[in-house]
Amino acid sequence: MAKYMTQPMSAGVHPKITYYRKQSAHPPHDESEKFTADATSDYATTNGVNKDQVEQGTYRSNQGVPVGGIVQEI
13-68: per-residue pLDDT in tens?
999 999 999 998 888 889 999 999 999 999 999 999 999 999 999 999 999 999 99
Domain count for the chain: 1
pLDDT at 24: 83
Quick check: 2 pLDDT over 80?
Answer: no
Supply the range of the domain harboring residue 59: 4-73
How would you classify residue 62: left for phi > 0, otherwise alpha for psi between -120 and 50, otherwise beta? left
pLDDT value for 1:
61
pLDDT band at 8 (very low <50, low <70, confident <90, very high): very high
